[in-house]
């Protein structure tokens, strides 16, 4: 249960965290707007057969490690300066890409006129603060934990159901285990309530209502409802 809370918090933070701001520019947003046409920016990255450019995590990792500097405190400022220059004046001689990759991708087309130096400063600062070993490890741990959960629980977490429901404890909505053991509740009833919402069914909710989740797919709603009902038998077994 602690783990779940932690995961919920981590997801919440991930969903809401803003990029670091330079001159009030949001590097994260700008990166999404200006660079994702070619670079994948997921962490860990997704790779495709016919990708147009190396994933941004790879770009950030390898610029950070190839930049030459005697003074370690200058590594990030130098890496930022490299990005600001490269995006406007790309060339084979400057690129840190190996020859084979350069041949596959081709040199990056200059983005001159499409992005300003201030915007690049914000983008690059975000890149080197976000694409780090630490964040990669954390993202991978979270992904492993999500993969280890029953699919219904994962969907409930990802769709923010767990901000109002816990398995064993009433918060805004009734505990999922109490919903599972509520007289008359069946798979059909739960599916109907998740899709259309529910109110005044549980005295314990004191007027709080269950919003309708119209956008969830039928398959996902069914998976979540089955998971909720499965909590009932887990209790019986104990």
Phi, psi of 230 (to 5 degrees): -65, -20
Residue 187 interacts with ligand HEC (CB under 6 A)? no
- Which residue bears the tokens 């919402």? 197
What is the 8-class DSSP label of residue 25? E
Selected binder of ligand HEC within 67, 76, 105, 138 (CB under 6 A): 105
SS3 content of the chain, % helix, strand, coil (to 5): 60, 5, 40
User: Nearest to residue 82, comparing CAs of 203, 73, 91, 140?
Assistant: 91
Return the number of the residue (136 or 208) whose C-beta is nearest ligand HEC: 208
Number of residues that bind ligand HEC (CB under 6 A): 57
- Which residue bears the tokens 């390898």? 62
Residue 228 interacts with ligand HEC (CB under 6 A)? yes
Selected binder of ligand HEC within 163, 170, 175, 222 (CB under 6 A): 163
Neighbours of 172 (CB within 10 A): 13
Q: By CB under 6 A, which span of 10-18, 40-48, 53-61, 134-142 interacts with ligand HEC?
A: 53-61
Selected binder of ligand HEC within 29, 62, 145, 151 (CB under 6 A): 62
Selected binder of ligand HEC within 22, 41, 80, 86 (CB under 6 A): 86
Residue 39 interacts with ligand HEC (CB under 6 A)? yes
- Residue 190 Cβ, how far from ligand HEC at the closest point, in Å? 4
Selected binder of ligand HEC within 57, 80, 83, 122 (CB under 6 A): 83
Residue 80 interacts with ligand HEC (CB under 6 A)? no
Selected binder of ligand HEC within 18, 42, 52, 212 (CB under 6 A): 52
d(CA 31, CA 131): 12
Q: Are 110 and 90 in contact (CB under 8 A)?
A: yes
Selected binder of ligand HEC within 25, 108, 122, 157 (CB under 6 A): 108
Q: Are 117 and 83 in contact (CB under 8 A)?
A: no
Return the number of the residue (7 or 97) whose C-beta is nearest ligand HEC: 97
Cα of 17 vs its chain's centroid, Å: 10
Q: By CB under 6 A, which span of 9-17, 68-76, 141-149, 188-196 interacts with ligand HEC?
A: 188-196
Return the number of the residue (21 or 138) whose C-beta is nearest ligand HEC: 21
Residue 190 interacts with ligand HEC (CB under 6 A)? yes
Q: Are 135 and 20 in contact (CB under 8 A)?
A: no
CA atoms in the 13 A half-sphere facing the CB of 24:
0
Selected binder of ligand HEC within 123, 157, 167, 229 (CB under 6 A): 123
Helix pair angle (117-130, 56-66), 10° resolution: 90
């Amino acid at each position: 249960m602690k783990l779940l809370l932690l995961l919920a918090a981590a997801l919440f933070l991930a969903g809401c965290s803003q990029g670091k701001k330079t001159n009030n520019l949001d590097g994260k947003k700008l990166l999404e707007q200006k660079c994702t046409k070619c670079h994948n920016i997921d962490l860990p990255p997704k790779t495709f057969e016919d990708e147009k450019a190396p994933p941004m995590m790879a770009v950030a990792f390898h610029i950070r490690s190839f930049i030459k500097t005697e003074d370690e405190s200058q590594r990030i400022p130098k890496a930022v300066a490299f990005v600001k220059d490269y995006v406007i004046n790309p060339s084979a001689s400057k690129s840190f890409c190996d020859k084979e990759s350069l041949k596959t991708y081709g040199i990056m087309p200059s983005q001159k006129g499409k992005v300003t130096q201030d915007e690049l400063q914000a983008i690059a600062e975000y890149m080197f603060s976000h694409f780090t070993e630490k964040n990669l490890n954390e993202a991978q741990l979270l992904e492993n934990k999500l993969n280890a959960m029953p699919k219904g629980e994962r969907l409930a977490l990802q769709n923010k159901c767990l901000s109002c429901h816990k398995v064993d404890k009433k918060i805004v909505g009734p505990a999922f285990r109490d919903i599972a053991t509520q007289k008359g509740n069946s798979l059909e009833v739960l599916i109907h309530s998740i899709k259309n919402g529910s109110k005044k069914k549980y005295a314990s909710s004191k007027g709080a209502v269950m919003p309708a989740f119209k956008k969830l797919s039928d398959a996902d709603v069914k998976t979540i409802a089955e998971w909720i009902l499965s909590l009932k038998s887990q209790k019986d077994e104990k």
